Amino acid sequence: MTLEQAKRQVVEEFSFFDEWLDKYEYLIGLGKELEPYPESDKTDDRLIKGCQSRVWLDWKMEGGLLLFRADSDALITKGIISLLLRVYSGRTPSEIAEDDFSLVDRIGLRANLSPTRANGLVSMIATIRAAAKDNV
């Protein structure tokens, strides 16, 4: 599956929900199921600190692919992380670097990316993008 296809799949998943609370419920479910992130890796250099939720993000290159792991202390953010990892982790740096990162916007979660709230998610996307560009 290409990155574009993965994105489309997520957008389609979200199109089933009419109600906001159902979207959140779904994200909370994804958040709870997110692959555990080791406590020992919740270090300050991996921490993206915001006024609201905190996000930890770690990445490595393996076999030419960028692999991401992440966690948050807030469940809805964690659910969004789960979507982002599904779409971006395990792709080549150039595939990621060329992406427009419109996913969160397209599933109607723009409010979660409001720059004024200085939340971890905004910085997380910036970090994914920077990691990709550095490894192209």
**Which residues are annotated as catalytic?**
51
Contact letters (x/-) for another protein, 108-127, by CB under 8 A? Answer: ---xx----x-x--------
CB 65 within 8 A of CB 59: no
Q: Residue 77, interface with another protein (CB under 8 A)?
A: yes
Q: Residue 82, interface with another protein (CB under 8 A)?
A: no
Q: Residue 4, interface with another protein (CB under 8 A)?
A: no
Q: Residue 81, interface with another protein (CB under 8 A)?
A: no
CA 96 to chain centre: 13
Long-range contacts at 16-22 (CB < 8 A, ≥ 24 apart) = none
Nearer residue to another protein within complex by CB, 66 or 122? 122
By CB under 8 A, name the one of 6, 34, 47, 75 that touches another protein: 75
Helix (H, G, I), strand (E, B) or coil at 52: coil
Site size toward another protein (CB under 8 A) is 18
User: Would you tell me the crossing angle of helices 120-135 and 75-88 to the nearest 10 degrees?
Assistant: 20
Secondary structure letter of residue 64 according to DSSP:
T
Q: Residue 47, interface with another protein (CB under 8 A)?
A: no
CA 57 to chain centre: 9
Unique residue bearing structure tokens 């994804």: 30
By CB under 8 A, name the one of 6, 11, 28, 47 that touches another protein: 28
State the residues that interact with another protein by CB under 8 A.
20-21, 24-25, 28, 51-54, 73-77, 111-112, 117, 119
